[in-house]
Amino acid sequence: MARVLRMAAWGLAGTAVIAAAAAYGAAWMGERKAQRLVEVQVAPVVIREDPASIAHGKYLYESRGCMECHGAGGGGKQVIDDPGGLRVRAPDLTRANPAIAAYQPVDWVRSIRHGVAPSLRPLMVMPSEDYNRLSDEDLGALIGYLRSLPAAMGAPAEITMPWVVRALYGVGVVQDAASKIDHSLPAQPALVPEPTARYGAYVANVCLGCHGPAFRGGKIPGAPPDWPAAADLRPVPGGAMARYGEAAAFIEMMRSGKRPDGSALSRVMPFDSFGRMNDTELTALYLFLAGLPQR
């Protein structure tokens, strides 16, 4: 019996060593993946810097989630400071940041549309999958606005990932945007903003990073453990959209961050940004989500 117990103990110890080695190896793979070079063909975009375009770029910056991470003036801010070790500070996007001051027009496009830095390394945490389908007109206006921002404090990005997240990244459970994007797709043609499901599909691109390509929601890989799962946005029984029988109720939720019964939704959802979308865009988004297939 003692011999059997000793063998079992050695077996458990061996399993623990193998598991630790696998975890270390996965974390090492994550470090290597973060340093890889991502070669993409970057199509040039006309940077729009006339007053009307800059005003539109400001609207996009404030309503598409950029402000949520980079702050109202583009100076960057602490986005995540989790006790588990995940810390993310979004960088200053103004010319006060030396890295941004060196940006050429192609660098802006590569970073926003493709999730790739001028160094050709993947941008970590940046949700470029949400912005890859921006039309050239919208992207040009957004870049024009960013280039017009007055200098802030110049702080760079600061990202610390605990070894668990690095390991998940190494084995592909957590992915950077550059891995998710089909870089061969041409730019989305410009659409006239109108309250239609077709235009709503364009607006809904900003939901992809958290809710997924099929809008089914679920736990967000790599997010802090206390973050709730992203909602299923399909019009399925018991789903989030089942609460909203008309666009007005949906718009009220997006603006207030509250369900129809008055209960508060998680502030992980960037209501401060998305609630700034105008009625046309929110109505279009509602019509698109309400018309999604249920399976």
User: Is residue 70 in a domain?
Assistant: yes
Asked whether the predicted pLDDT for residue 19 surpasses 80, the reply is no
pLDDT in tens, 50-94: 999 999 999 999 999 999 999 999 999 999 999 989 999 999 999
Q: Are residues 56 and 155 in the same domain?
A: yes
- Give the residue among 129, 148, 135, 156 at the shortest CA–CA distance from 221: 129
CATH of the domain at 152: 1.10.760.10
User: Is residue 177 in a domain?
Assistant: no
Q: Which two tokens stand for residue 59?
A: 């609207």
DSSP string computed for 193-211: --SSHHHHHHHGGGGHHHH
User: Is residue 13 in a domain?
Assistant: no
User: Is residue 74 in a domain?
Assistant: yes
Q: Which two tokens stand for residue 112?
A: 């926003």
Rounded CA-CA distance 114/45 in Å is: 13
- Number of Cβ atoms within 10 Å of the Cβ of 100: 24
Q: Which two tokens stand for residue 221?
A: 């890989």
User: Is residue 250 in a domain?
Assistant: yes
HSE-CB for 40 with a 13 A CA cutoff: 31
CATH of the domain at 285: 1.10.760
The three-class DSSP label of residue 186 is coil
Q: Are residues 74 and 149 in the same domain?
A: yes
How far out from the chain centre does Cα 94 lie?
20
Rounded CA-CA distance 73/176 in Å is: 26
Q: Are residues 201 and 257 in the same domain?
A: yes
User: Is residue 217 in a domain?
Assistant: yes
Mean pLDDT (whole number) for 41-56: 97
CB 113 within 8 A of CB 134: yes
User: Is residue 170 in a domain?
Assistant: no
Q: Are residues 141 and 202 in the same domain?
A: no
The three-class DSSP label of residue 15 is helix
Asked whether the predicted pLDDT for residue 199 surpasses 50, the reply is yes
Q: Of 78-87, 111-120, 183-192, give the range with the top mean pLDDT.
A: 111-120
Q: Are residues 150 and 202 in the same domain?
A: no
| Residue finishing a domain among 106, 132, 159 | 159
Q: Of 2-11, 27-36, 53-62, 240-249, give the range with the top mean pLDDT.
A: 53-62
**291 bridge partner residues:** none
Domain membership of residue 118 as a residue range: 51-80+89-159
How far out from the chain centre does Cα 190 lie?
22
Structurally, the chain folds into a number of domains equal to 2
pTM for the whole structure = 0.89
User: Is residue 24 in a domain?
Assistant: no
CB 145 within 8 A of CB 57: yes
